[in-house]
Amino acid sequence: MTVSPTQTTVPAVRLSGVGKSFGSTHAVRDVTLDIRPNEFFSILGPSGCGKTTLMRMITGFEEPTEGAIELGGVPAGGVPAHKRDLNMLFQSYALFPHLSVHDNVAFELKVRKSHPKQAIAEAVRDALALVRLEGYGDRAISQLSGGQRQRVAIARALIGRPSLLLLDEPLGALDKKLRAEMQLELKKIQREVGVTFVTVTHDQEEALTMSDRIAVMHDGRVVQVGTPEDIYERPATRFVAEFIGTSNFLTGKSDGAVLTVDGLGTVPLPADAFTGEAHLAVRPEHVRISSGDPAPPPERASLPATLQSVVYLGSATRYHLALADGGPFIAETHGTGPAGLTAGGPVLAHWDPQASRLLAE
Amino acid sequence: MTETVAAPPPVSPPPSVSLPPAVPTRRTGVRRTAVTAALLAPAGLTVGALVLVPLALVLRNSFATADPYGGIQGGFTLANYHELLDPVYLKVFGYSLGMAALNSVVCLVLGYMVSYYLVGRPPRRQGLLLLLIIVPFWTDFLVRTFAWINLLSPGGPVNALTDALGLTHGPTEWIPSQGASFVGLVYAFLPTAIFPVYASLRGVDPALGEAARDLGCGWWRVHTRVLLPLARPGLLAAALLTFVPTLGVFVIPVLLGGGKHQLIGNLIVTLYTEFRNQPMGAAASVVLLALMIVSLAVFGAAAGRLRRAQRKGGTS
């Protein structure tokens, strides 16, 4: 019998029971998670959820009040920010306005005195090439556009080849088109340099498209860690289902097979359903609507509703419904949906129970 | 009571006249000029009568001959200026320049430290602390200097403190002394140094300091490589605002220094009042004015170079 080799990879970041309180307010509570080397990891949550504080503890700008942080297997407690083998991409870019592009990018190498002069010039050239800003070295920061500034900030943060790059809302200050472009570019740069990227963001779309794994934070806690697909398709809590994308919720009592909702009757549940008080989350794209004739197949969950409005989105059509108890329900179909439905008329909303998800909280 | 001698008050630009945007026909153009002239007249006359005319008189007198009774005989001579080249007077000029430079340096260092502390406080606390700095600044110069006489008197609060620390034993005479005089100078000009430095440090994104730390700067290099260079415009203004007025101070060296080590301001007062030699006093005043203008030009040139360097993005 062979023993499988034990997993010996040291996590890039290991947080064990990390908490931070400012006076009586707890910004971060009991966060335990591992970030693997070379992964693109996102910490996702609404503003005020503690994600920025968590990141500042990893950089060393704040010390945790509870728990411990390890960077590359080495305890980081008491190690000041300037001695940690990681860099940060600031939301405001924090480029030094008194220095040229070249001197901004060269800053770390000059401060750490790790390279001779000639090597610094070469490293700056390479770093600027990485972000496609060759020949911009002599420019002043004030002469650059927002997108160019961000590229300079990336070059500056990566020139010292840190093991870890933390990105604070990296795309927040860019306009929509540039944002989409940078999402792909960041991913490409990350693969090219082989550095662990940890981004902090409140933008779920950004997190879903760029990340290998995501930690969703709520109220200072990490409520779920997983791949983008895990998080979207199998949310752990009602908060995650609501925060990532859009969900319809039905609240009631589960007996393991059906959910009884006051005023609406019963709907069938997915196979792994538990019993007790629960929320059923149904993604709008899994909901179909019909006039009720012919009736949907009996294995599908269905609820009668009133069609309130139809929103044409180009690639999709969204239907806003009101259930019998007045609660809102949304259905979304690709392209144009079934014809002959009029606002104000009765419809039937139906979905595959296996595509819905039962949540305890 | 003003604290400086012969320093021309800064002439503020005349308030701009805003008239309804009329089509500038020839006639409204003329009327506009007349209105502008009428509105400028009070300020112009005041400046002319209270600044330019006295300055012209001082300049004229500096080339005149004194009569034995303290009056002015007229005539034209360079003898007054020639006499100022006497080592006794040159020493006063040298001492003044040295004191002004030292005072500026100390005020700049303290002013930077205080400003750095201030910008790190929460906004509301900053306001309160600034108020604590501004209130004494508004208090009469003479009153503040007398306060130091009390503070530094034998058995006074400072003496009690040094006794408690074992640095002195019993009542100690600190006044008059050069040290007391210098403490008075620093105290008088510290707020003037804090405000411009604070203003420029407050405009610095706090993330820049963090970025410097993130990129490997320890405490010291965060300052030398990032914050100090960014505070340079404020530091330059602070240096100007302490160096130039210090040259003309005369109350502090008299009250706290006992008048033994004179600044140019004291020299002028002595020449006018004790020596009753108005032409010599006038000549000393003109020299002081010239020193101030030269300093202003030097600081102005430095500021201009700094602006150009910053526009260029400063290559090191």
User: What CATH number should be reported for the domain holding residue A61?
Assistant: 3.40.50.300
pLDDT in tens, A298-307: 889 989 999 9
Q: Is B144 on the interface with A (CB under 8 A)?
A: no
Contact: B313, A99; criterion CB under 8 Å: yes
Percent of chain A surpassing pLDDT 70: 97
- For residue A17, give the H/E element and its range: strand A13-22
Cα distance between residue A282 and residue A296, in whole Å: 17
* Type of residue found at B230: L
DSSP type of residue B4: B
A150 and A21 belong to one structural domain: yes
- Which of B200, B214, B220, B306 is most worth mutating to test chain A (most A CB atoms within 10 A of its CB)? B214
Please report, in tens digits, the pLDDT of each residue of chain B (316 residues total): 344 444 444 444 444 445 555 555 666 778 889 999 999 999 999 999 999 999 999 999 999 998 888 888 888 899 999 999 999 999 999 999 999 999 999 999 999 999 999 999 999 999 999 999 998 888 888 888 888 998 988 888 888 898 889 888 888 888 888 889 999 999 999 999 999 999 999 999 999 999 999 999 999 999 999 999 999 999 999 999 999 889 888 888 888 888 788 889 889 999 998 888 999 999 999 999 999 999 989 988 988 888 887 666 544 4
Distances (CA, A) of B242 to B97, B104, B146: 12, 5, 21
Contact: B312, A140; criterion CB under 8 Å: yes
DSSP 3-state percent helix, strand, coil across chain A (nearest 5): 25, 35, 40
A194 and A299 belong to one structural domain: no
CA A215 to chain centre: 7
Cα distance between residue A26 and residue A92, in whole Å: 26
Contact: A81, B210; criterion CB under 8 Å: yes
Contact: A102, B310; criterion CB under 8 Å: no
Contact: B214, A92; criterion CB under 8 Å: no
* Type of residue found at B229: P
Cα distance between residue B193 and residue B242, in whole Å: 7
Which of chain A's residues have a Cβ under 8 Å away from the Cβ of B205?
92, 94
Average pLDDT over residues A233-259: 91
Q: Is residue A158 very low, low, confident or very high in pLDDT (cuts 50, 70, 90)?
A: very high
Q: Is residue A55 included in any domain, yes or no?
A: yes
Q: Give the lowest-confidence range in A83-87, A219-223, A288-292.
A: A288-292
A36 and A176 belong to one structural domain: yes
Contact: B211, A81; criterion CB under 8 Å: no
Please report the pLDDT score of residue A359 as a whole number: 92
A147 and A289 belong to one structural domain: no
Report the chain B residue with the minimal C-alpha distance to residue A142. Answer: B313
Contact: A143, B313; criterion CB under 8 Å: yes
Q: Is B164 on the interface with A (CB under 8 A)?
A: no
B-contacting residues in A 28-67 (Cβ below 8 Å):
59-61
Q: Is B223 on the interface with A (CB under 8 A)?
A: no
Residue of B205, B212, B215 with shortest CB distance to A92? B205
Please report the pLDDT score of residue A29 as a whole number: 94
Q: How far is B299 from chain A (nearest CA, A)?
A: 20
Distances (CA, A) of A324 to A232, A266, A309, A348: 28, 13, 16, 11
| A20, A34 contact by CB (below 8 A) | no
Please report the pLDDT score of residue B4 as a whole number: 46
First vs last C-alpha separation in chain A: 44
B276: burial class by Cβ within 10 Å (0-12, 13-18, 19+)?
middle
Give whichever of A57-71, A110-124, B291-305 has the largest mean pLDDT: A57-71
Please report the pLDDT score of residue A105 as a whole number: 96
Q: Is residue A43 very low, low, confident or very high in pLDDT (cuts 50, 70, 90)?
A: very high
What ipTM does this complex have?
Answer: 0.81
A224 and A162 belong to one structural domain: yes
- Identify the domain boundary among A186, A210, A238: A238
- Which of A82, A169, A198 is most worth mutating to test chain B (most B CB atoms within 10 A of its CB)? A82
pLDDT in tens, A304-358: 999 999 888 888 889 999 998 888 999 998 877 677 777 888 889 999 999 999 9
Please report the pLDDT score of residue B140 as a whole number: 85
A234 and A252 belong to one structural domain: no
- Which of B200, B204, B215 is most worth mutating to test chain A (most A CB atoms within 10 A of its CB)? B215
- Domain positions in chain B: 78-309
A-contacting residues in B 168-207 (Cβ below 8 Å):
205, 207
Residue of B207, B211, B316 with shortest CB distance to A103? B316
Q: Is residue A315 included in any domain, yes or no?
A: yes
Contact: B215, A142; criterion CB under 8 Å: no
Percent of chain A surpassing pLDDT 90: 65
Pair of tokens at residue B14: 């005349």
Pair type for strands A40-44 and A213-218: parallel
- Which domain does A69 fall in, by range? 13-238
A225 and A259 belong to one structural domain: no
Q: Is residue A40 included in any domain, yes or no?
A: yes
Catalogue the E-assigned strands of chain B. Answer: 65-66, 72-74
- For residue A64, give the H/E element and its range: none
A222 and A251 belong to one structural domain: no
Pair of tokens at residue A255: 């007996």
| A309, A358 contact by CB (below 8 A) | no
Please report the pLDDT score of residue B145 as a whole number: 87
A317 and A234 belong to one structural domain: no
Which of chain B's residues have a Cβ under 8 Å away from the Cβ of A59?
210, 214
Contact: A139, B217; criterion CB under 8 Å: no
B239 vs A114, more confident = B239
Pair of tokens at residue A338: 């079934």
- Identify the domain boundary among A238, A270, A297: A238
| A346, A292 contact by CB (below 8 A) | yes
Q: Is residue A31 very low, low, confident or very high in pLDDT (cuts 50, 70, 90)?
A: very high
Considering its fold, how many domains does chain A have in total?
A: 2
Give the contacts of A45 (CB within 8 A, at least 6 positions apart). Answer: A51, A202, A216, A217, A218, A243
| A227, A164 contact by CB (below 8 A) | no
CATH of the domain at A275: 2.40.50.140
Cα distance between residue B110 and residue B104, in whole Å: 10
Report the chain B residue with the minimal C-alpha distance to residue A94. Answer: B208
CATH H-level superfamily of B78-309? MetI-like (1.10.3720.10)
* Type of residue found at A200: V
Please report the pLDDT score of residue B70 as a whole number: 80
Report the chain B residue with the minimal C-alpha distance to residue A140. Answer: B313
Q: Is A163 on the interface with B (CB under 8 A)?
A: no
Q: How far is A131 from chain B (nearest CA, A)?
A: 19
A229 and A250 belong to one structural domain: no
Residue of B208, B225, B312 with shortest CB distance to A94? B208
- Identify the domain boundary among A186, A205, A238: A238
Q: Is residue A8 included in any domain, yes or no?
A: no
Contact: B214, A102; criterion CB under 8 Å: no
- Which of A85, A100, A111 is most worth mutating to test chain B (most B CB atoms within 10 A of its CB)? A111
